[in-house]
């Protein structure tokens, strides 16, 4: 009787212990789940804060300080009225009278420094010039390209298409670079005096024609003894008046 009661008591204690152990395990799992759920938004918030705080701040790019190419042509602290046209911008007055003096209001371009007659720095000034377009200037006021493909000694005299540029110190209306038809005026280095001297002294042997680069005519004069003197006399006259020139078509010097 006593032994049975002891066994039932032991069974009750074991059941209670088992119940308490299971309860502790379940409570531990619940706590871990709650900790995980609470920690997730905190970690997400911390991540968002971290990513936001580590973003590189935006700064506006600094303005370019590159010097314009026209500065090379602009003398520093010189007279504003003597500046090249590339260093200024002017209010062009196309209603001026052709060939008459005209005054234009101008302003220096950025990075250009100039002074007036009293050595005071200024930006706005006036210039005086003759009212005419750039292609109407005198030939000494612009520079043109040369052509070595046209014949200078020909009848009629040949022309070629040249590209002309106004000199830096000259002011004019319109484009400063313009096309123009010019006479062929290039030279290959042949001297008129040398050709004439050879024609008079050694023309019977074709020396004048050889000098001018005309080999076929030179051989013809050589083997015909200057056309028995007639060809020699004719060449003296033709070279003397400049009708016969270098074979490359260039001018005498």
Same-domain status, 151 and 120: no
How far is residue 208's CA from residue 196's CA, in Å, rounded to a whole number? 7
| Closest by Cα among 171, 107, 163 to 133 | 171
Per-residue pLDDT, 179: 93
Per-residue pLDDT, 148: 74
Same-domain status, 169 and 206: no
Please report whether residue 147 resides in a domain: yes
Per-residue pLDDT, 24: 55
Q: Read off the pTM.
A: 0.51
Same-domain status, 82 and 112: yes
Per-residue pLDDT, 53: 39
The residue ranges of the chain whose pLDDT is under 70 are 1-65, 152-155
**Helix, strand and coil percent figures for the chain, each rounded to 5:** 45, 20, 40
How far is residue 127's CA from residue 173's CA, in Å, rounded to a whole number? 13
Question: Mind listing the pLDDT tens digit for each residue in 166-198?
Answer: 998 888 888 999 999 888 877 777 888 999 999
Residue numbers of the domain that contains 152: 142-183
Question: Mind listing the pLDDT tens digit for each residue in 11-47?
Answer: 666 566 555 555 554 555 544 444 444 444 444 434 4
Same-domain status, 124 and 81: yes
Please report whether residue 12 resides in a domain: no
Please report whether residue 40 resides in a domain: no
How far is residue 164's CA from residue 181's CA, in Å, rounded to a whole number? 10
Strand, helix or coil for residue 103:
strand
Same-domain status, 146 and 124: no
Residue 185, Cα to own-chain centre: how many angstroms? 30
Please report whether residue 57 resides in a domain: no
Please report whether residue 6 resides in a domain: no
Per-residue pLDDT, 19: 59
Do 172 and 133 contact (CB within 8 A), yes or no?
yes
Please report whether residue 151 resides in a domain: yes
How far is residue 141's CA from residue 170's CA, in Å, rounded to a whole number? 7
Same-domain status, 108 and 89: yes
Please report whether residue 218 resides in a domain: yes
Per-residue pLDDT, 177: 93
Please give the torsion angle defined by the CA atoms of residues 171, 172, 177 and 179, in that order, rounded to the nearest 10 degrees: -140
Total domains in the chain come to 3
Please report whether residue 44 resides in a domain: no
């Amino acid at each position: 009787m006593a032994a049975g009661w002891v066994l039932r008591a032991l069974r009750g204690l074991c059941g209670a212990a088992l119940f308490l152990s299971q309860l502790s395990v379940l409570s531990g799992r619940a706590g871990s789940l709650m900790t995980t759920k609470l920690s997730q938004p905190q970690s997400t918030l911390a991540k968002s804060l971290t990513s936001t705080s580590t973003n590189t701040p935006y700064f506006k790019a600094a303005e370019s300080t590159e010097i314009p190419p026209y500065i090379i042509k602009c003398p520093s602290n010189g007279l504003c009225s003597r500046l090249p046209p590339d260093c200024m911008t002017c209010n062009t007055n196309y209603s001026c009278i052709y060939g008459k003096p005209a005054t234009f209001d101008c302003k220096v371009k950025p990075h250009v420094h100039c002074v007036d007659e009293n050595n005071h720095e200024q930006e706005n000034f006036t210039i005086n010039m003759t009212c005419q377009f750039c292609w109407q200037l005198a030939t000494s006021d612009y520079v043109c390209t040369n052509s070595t493909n046209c014949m200078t000694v020909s009848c009629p005299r040949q022309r070629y298409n040249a590209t002309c540029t106004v000199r830096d110190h000259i002011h004019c209306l319109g484009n400063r670079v313009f096309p123009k038809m010019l006479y062929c005026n290039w030279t290959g280095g042949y001297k008129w005096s040398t050709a004439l001297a050879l024609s008079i002294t050694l023309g019977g042997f074709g020396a004048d024609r050889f000098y001018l680069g005309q080999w076929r005519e030179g051989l013809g004069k050589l083997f015909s003894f200057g056309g028995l003197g007639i060809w020699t006399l004719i060449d003296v006259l033709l070279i003397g008046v400049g009708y016969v020139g270098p074979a490359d078509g260039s001018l005498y010097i």
